[in-house]
Amino acid sequence: TNRPEILDPALLRAGRFDRQVVVARPDLEGREEILKLHGSKVRLAEDVDLHVIAARTPGMVGSDLANVMNEGALLAARYNKEAVTMDELDEAIDRILAGPAKKSRIMAPKEKRRVAYHESGHTLVAEALPTADPVRKVTIIPHGVAALGYTQQLPTEDRYLYTKEELLDRIAVMLGGRAAEEVIFHDLSTGAQDDLQRASEMARRMVTEFGMGETLGPYAVEQGRQAMFLDAHTPSPKTYSEDIARNIDQEAQNIVERMYQRANQVLTEHRDKLETVAQHLLAHEVIDQATLATLLSDWRPGKEPQFADS
């Protein structure tokens, strides 16, 4: 079960279910072994490096990795290839993470330009901040049901702990798209809706679960059901006073506002690089990690000044 806390206590008494086995998400080595298992069932090209694929799939579980291989095989068949190559597996990962590409969904030039700057904002902030995960790919090709583009970051290693600075950097990257729209267009759009929701939730968890707030300090007023995974979270029922609730709202709002200003500052100071990335996106629609490194070869700050916590 994924919900052990809802099981009847009678089921967990001695002599019934004495041993509980927690199945965590596989690490890098585990993902590679799972990929080898499923890869043995399809014809893989000589250029396929399953270690690289495993590194590109942090957080995926066995069923996701099986789907990567299945999707890769289907794509290879669609492209009339005799074997599955890295290109098909790379596209399969994108389909699983963001949904299939919707190249038939034609955006108006005005909207496409806004999406290009939005995604470039995420990219530039991620490349500027010291602890943000590096950008692996950015595209303005629509994917899935609603995504008009997306920026994919790739952790350099499996993570189990996050520092306060790392969480703040993550929030700033989430807000980079909205900040770019304000810097370039002096106006905002609905495209940042999901970014705002995720940033607000992360800020709130910093205050209520991780004890990283200034007013409440090292005091957890909520306990998430899935503390292991930052992307899988169900809050506990509210058990605190209205005064604490107001403090939580104020602190979370302050975190989001500070990180938004931080992202805005990065993009304002480096607007020329924002233009470089956005114009390349408009011309080519996709930027991979190698191309991004070339575009920003003379600019790799990685150590933008931190904002004060107060």
Q: In terms of domains, do 11 and 151 share one?
A: no
Mean pLDDT confidence for 227-245:
64
Q: Residue 274 pLDDT more than 50?
A: yes
Q: In terms of domains, do 141 and 210 share one?
A: yes
Total domain count, the chain: 2
120 occurs within a structural domain: yes
Q: In terms of domains, do 202 and 238 share one?
A: yes
pLDDT at 307: 41
Q: In terms of domains, do 155 and 64 share one?
A: no
pLDDT tens digit sequence for 33-72: 999 999 999 999 998 999 999 998 988 999 999 999 999 9
pTM: 0.83
| Distance from C-alpha of 120 to C-alpha of 176, rounded to nearest angstrom | 8
Q: In terms of domains, do 130 and 93 share one?
A: no
Mean pLDDT confidence for 90-98:
89
Q: Residue 7 pLDDT more than 90?
A: no
Mean pLDDT confidence for 287-297:
93
| Distance from C-alpha of 72 to C-alpha of 85, rounded to nearest angstrom | 8
CATH of the domain at 68: 1.10.8.60
Q: In terms of domains, do 136 and 43 share one?
A: no
pLDDT at 102: 80
Question: Which domain range does residue 92 map to?
Answer: 4-98
CATH of the domain at 221: 1.20.58.760
Cβ-proximal residues to 138 (8 Å cutoff; 6+ apart), any chain: 119, 120, 122, 123, 149, 150, 151, 152, 277, 281, 286, 287, 292
Mean pLDDT confidence for 96-113:
85
304 annotated active-site: no
Alpha carbon distances (Å) from 159 to 155, 156, 198, 208: 8, 9, 19, 21
Q: In terms of domains, do 88 and 199 share one?
A: no
Mean pLDDT confidence for 196-223:
90
Of the listed ranges 3-17, 63-77, 136-150, 224-238, the one predicted with least confidence:
224-238
pLDDT at 300: 64
Among 71, 98, 125, residue at a domain's last position: 98
Q: In terms of domains, do 203 and 55 share one?
A: no
Q: Are 272 and 184 spatial neighbours (Cβ–Cβ below 8 Å)?
A: no
Catalytic residue among 32, 88, 119, 304: 119
pLDDT at 254: 96
Strand partners, 143: 101, 147
